[in-house]
Chain A
Amino acid sequence: MEPDLFERRERAAEQAASLYGLDPQTFTWAAWADATGEAEADLKLLFSTKTAALRWFYTALPERIGRRLELIPEFGTFTLAERYAQYVYTALDLLDSQREFVEKTYRRYVIETSGTHAFASGSAAFFRKTAGSDTRIPDINRPFMPDFVFDLMGHAMLRLVAFWLEDESDGSGQTLAWVDKTTALFQEAAYSGVADRAVDLLKFIYQFLRR
């Protein structure tokens, strides 16, 4: 089956990130064309500039993650916390596959960008849609989940990646703990009560700050 336009762009952006990650100076149109097997002219149809490709690596993340989540056979049976956690883990996997590039550019292309970055808004949209379609959330709890909560979660996603980049614990254990505790808290709040989970999180924050 022929790859669709999105897949071609994704492959090209991955190669761009890889070349840039190795050495920004060697990221030329020629080297890029060579790495992707695409003609330079075709690459220019996919991305108007080299920087556009690098930026696209981040802005297209929500779509790229969504496509991968669709491939998980049991995803439809996941709980809210499992879906959220899977979204985050998939994002980290994609970013980790181009770690050197991400370390060089994440702050510049994502954190310091003006306005709401597409990674944040796309993530917020995923979180909102997932909660909206989860039948395990009682209707009575929905008023307590206004839009801004999901927007906040979208922004938190950006910060989480920044935290992960600095995380030197074994297997990024601290990041996984944050993901686990926050998604579990959100699920518990959405499905039922919140007290125990909040205490758990506060304890973790306290412990973390003491280190």
Chain B
Amino acid sequence: MNRQRILLGFACLVVLGIVPGLGAEKLVFSELWDPSTVSARIFWDLRLPRLVLTLSLGGILALVGGTYQSLFRNPLCEPYVLGISSAVLLGVISSELFLQHPAGTPVSISMGMLAALGLVAVLIVFSASPLGSPERVVLFGMSANFVLSSLLFLALSMQSQNVGGGTLKWFFGFLPWPSWQEGLWAVGGGLVTLVILGSASQALEVLRLGDAVARTLGVAPVATRNLLLVFTSLVMAGVVAFSGTIGFVGLVIPQVCRFLFRPNSMKELMLLSFVMGAAFLSLADGLSRALVPPYEFPVGVLTTLLGGPLFLWVLWKKK
């Protein structure tokens, strides 16, 4: 076991070393220290904040995915399974269509978050009702997802060509070139998510034993599930409002971690998932920019290309 963790640490260092070098332009190492050169500007103003962003987002996605897989007792859960992403996208695109505030502006992001909160409220009411077992909450979320997606496609088909020509990128998942400020916000968000979900990890483990047993072990099932739902939904709403739906990270990384490292506790799984998710997304992002320069693939394409086979491999080996 230890050997594999050391390998992971090593792989992460390699990723950190390689990714800042990946991109459309080749950098000249000697120029990096002169702030006026193109190489320096690309490295310090573009690539590093982006690296910081992708590390945080990747960690968050993997964490939330792992949490949902545990919470809903379903290994196929993605962070988007509850339909929060569709709600956010609907809010963002509605703001563009009806309020003339294009996607990416603070107004559109607020609309996205409002829509997400609306859905969260509905989910909580459902979860607290007698019908609301964890498995049913997922099904409810999936149905909400279908409904919202169709509304979304309707809204998109209503768009004139000039409005939000880049709207499709939200579906593939995209990463912007963030400012250092945005990058640091992302780090903050990542750390907060790690701390909060990490501290909930034992409660999650206890919940796996069933609601009645959980109560005898001091964990209130409905309240805990609802709190986790609200928190993760808020986090995911923020992520989606910022970068669309980046797929596969939340689905595959916790599975791979479980398979490779056989962690003894949920807390360990969460830490490993965070680290591996961070490395995975940064690598996918770096490759998306370096494969066919100067074209940059939407990062979701790379996460699917890399994550899909990885997932199949885990499924194969698990037999």
Query: Is B one of A's binding partners?
Result: no
Residues of B within 8 A of A (CB): none
